Structure 1
Amino acid sequence: MYIVYMGAIPEGHFSNKLEEQHINMLREVVDGRFPRNALVRSYKRSFNGFAAYLTYQEQQKLASESILILWPQTTRSWDFMGFREDVPRNPTIESDIVIGVLDSGIWPESESFNDHGFGPVPKKWKGVCNGGQNFTCNKKLIGARFYASGSPDADSARDTIGHGTHTASTAAGNPIKDASFYGIAQGTARGGVPSARIAAYKVCFSEIGCRDSDILAAFDDAIADGVDIITISLGSRFAVEMKNDSISIGSLHAVEKGILTVHSAGNSGFIPGTVTSIAPWLLTVGASTTDRGIIDKVALGNGKTIVGKAINSFKMNGTEFPLVYGKDVTSNCSEKEAKLCFEGCLNRSLVTGKIILCDSEDGISEAIEAGALGIITKPGLAPDVSFIVPMPASALSTEGMELVQSYINSTNASKANISSSESIQNKDAPLVASFSSKGPNPIIPDILKPDITAPGVEILAAYSPVAPVTNFASDKRSVKYKILSGTSMACPHVAGAAAYVKSVHPDWSPSAIKSALMTTAWRMDPTKHKDAEFSYGAGHINPVNATNPGLVYETSKEDYTKMLCDIGYANEIVQKLFKDDKISCIEATKKDLNYPSMTIQVTEGAPLLVKFTRTVTNVGLANSTYTAEITKTSDCNITVEPNTLSFKEANEKQSFVVTVKGDLGMKSMISASLVWSDGVHFVRSPIVVY
Structure 2
Amino acid sequence: MKFRTHLLLIISILLTNPFFVTAEEEEQAIIIEVEGNPHTRKAHIEDYYPFIEVVQVYDQLFNGLALKGTSRKLERMDSLDFVKQTYPVRTYKTNTPGTAPENSQHATTQQPSDITVEDIDISVTLESEQPNVNKSIPFLKQQSSTLKSYTGKGIKIGVVDTGIDHHHPDLKNNFKGGYDLVDLDDDPMETIPEQGIPTLHGTHVSGIIAANGSMQGVAPEASLYSYRALGPGGMGTSIQVIAAIERAVKDGMDIINLSLGNSVNGPDWPTSVAVNRAVELGVTVVIANGNSGPSNWTVGSPATASNVISVGASTPPLEVPYLFDSFHEKRIALTPLMGSQPWQLEREYPMVQGGIGNQELPDADGKIVLMERGEIPFAEKARLAEQSGAKALIIYNNEDKAFQGSIEDGKEPIDIPVASVSMDDGQWLKEQATEDTYYIETKYKKSKDMIAAFSSRGPVTANWWIKPEIVAPGAAINSTVPGGYRELQGTSMAAPHVAGGLALVKQAHPDWSPAKLKGALLTSALPLKNEQLLYDPIEQGMGRMQIDKAIHTPLVIYNPLLSFGKVTDLSETHMVELELENVTTKEQDYYFDIPKQQSGLRWQLPKQFTLDPGEKKTVPIQLKVSASFLDKGIHQGWLTLKQGKQSYHLPYLFINQEADYPRVMGMEFALKVFSDDEYQYRLYLPEDAQSVTIDLYDSHSMAFERTLLELENQKQGVIEGTMEMRDVGDKGEYLANVSVKTTSGETYDYQTDLYIE
Return the structure number with greater strand share: 2
TM-score, structure 1 length as denominator?
Answer: 0.69
Q: Take 1:68 and 1:515, find their aligned partners in 2: how far apart are those partners?
A: 38
Is residue 2:108 matched to residue 1:62?
no
Match of 2:358 among 338, 346, 362: 346
5 Å matches for 1:525-536?
Answer: 525=529, 532-536=536-540
Q: Take 1:669 and 1:81, find their aligned partners in 2: how far apart are those partners?
A: 36
Query: Contact 1:288 / 1:433 at 8 angstroms: preserved in 2?
Result: yes
Quote the offset at 1:72 in angstroms: 7.6
Is residue 2:248 matched to residue 1:219?
no
Return the structure number with greater helix share: 1
Q: Take 2:65 and 2:552, find their aligned partners in 1: how far apart are those partners?
A: 42
Q: Who is 1:128 aligned against?
A: none
AA aligned opposite 2:548: V
Q: Who is 1:313 aligned against?
A: 341
AA aligned opposite 2:177: G
Q: Take 2:136 and 2:647, find their aligned partners in 1: how far apart are those partners?
A: 24
Q: Who is 1:568 aligned against?
A: none
Q: Who is 2:223 aligned against?
A: 197
Q: Who is 1:587 aligned against?
A: none
Query: Contact 1:248 / 1:282 at 8 angstroms: preserved in 2?
Result: no
Is residue 2:631 matched to residue 1:666?
yes
Is residue 2:354 matched to residue 1:326?
yes
Change (3 A) 1:636 1:159: farther
AA aligned opposite 2:571: P
Query: Contact 1:386 / 1:458 at 8 angstroms: preserved in 2?
Result: no
Quote the offset at 1:608 in angstroms: 3.4
Q: Who is 1:358 aligned against?
A: 371
Q: Take 1:281 and 1:275, find their aligned partners in 2: how far apart are those partners?
A: 15
AA aligned opposite 1:360: R
Q: Who is 1:376 aligned against?
A: 394
Q: Take 2:61 and 2:203, find their aligned partners in 1: how far apart are those partners?
A: 26
Quote the offset at 1:635 in angstroms: 4.0
Q: Take 2:245 and 2:633, find their aligned partners in 1: how far apart are those partners?
A: 39
Query: Contact 2:162 / 2:231 at 8 angstroms: preserved in 1?
Result: yes
The 3-state SS of whatever aligns with 2:566 is: coil
Q: Who is 1:21 aligned against?
A: 40
AA aligned opposite 2:499: A
Q: Take 1:628 and 1:36, find their aligned partners in 2: how far apart are those partners?
A: 67
Q: Take 2:288 and 2:575, find their aligned partners in 1: how far apart are those partners?
A: 30
Q: Take 1:512 and 1:317, find their aligned partners in 2: how far apart are those partners?
A: 48
The 3-state SS of whatever aligns with 2:593 is: strand
Q: Who is 2:460 aligned against?
A: 441
Tell me the percent identity.
Answer: 24
Q: Who is 1:157 aligned against?
A: 189
What are the Cα deviations for residues 503-536 of structure 1, in whole angstroms up to 9, with x where unaligned? 2211111111111111222223478999922222
Unpaired runs of at least 5, structure 1: 8-17, 114-136, 177-188, 328-340, 466-479, 555-594
Change (3 A) 1:386 1:50: closer
Change (3 A) 1:314 1:19: closer
Change (3 A) 1:409 1:639: closer
Unpaired runs of at least 5, structure 2: 1-29, 89-110, 115-133, 193-198, 409-413, 656-757
Q: Take 1:547 and 1:314, find their aligned partners in 2: how far apart are those partners?
A: 37
What are the Cα deviations for residues 180-199 of structure 1, in whole angstroms up to 9, with x where unaligned? xxxxxxxxx54222232212
Is residue 2:181 matched to residue 1:147?
yes
Cα-Cα RMSD: 4.4
Is residue 2:332 matched to residue 1:367?
no
5 Å matches for 1:185-264?
Answer: 190-206=216-232, 209-239=235-265, 242=268, 244-245=270-271, 248-249=273-274, 251-264=275-288
AA aligned opposite 1:273: W
AA aligned opposite 1:677: K
Quote the offset at 1:658 in angstroms: 0.7
Change (3 A) 1:266 1:293: same
Match of 2:612 among 639, 648, 655: 648
AA aligned opposite 2:255: I
Is residue 2:520 matched to residue 1:502?
no
Is residue 2:143 matched to residue 1:84?
yes
Is residue 2:470 matched to residue 1:455?
no
Q: Take 1:491 and 1:433, find their aligned partners in 2: how far apart are those partners?
A: 14
Quote the offset at 1:482 in angstroms: 1.2
The 3-state SS of whatever aligns with 1:513 is: helix
The 3-state SS of whatever aligns with 1:405 is: helix
Q: Take 1:285 and 1:315, find their aligned partners in 2: how far apart are those partners?
A: 28
AA aligned opposite 1:612: V
Query: Contact 1:456 / 1:486 at 8 angstroms: preserved in 2?
Result: yes
Please, which moves more after superposition, 215-224 or 45-54? Answer: 45-54
Is residue 2:299 matched to residue 1:275?
yes
Quote the offset at 1:441 in angstroms: 0.6
Quote the offset at 1:38 in angstroms: 8.0
What are the Cα deviations for residues 612-633 of structure 1, in whole angstroms up to 9, with x where unaligned? 2232222123322222235569
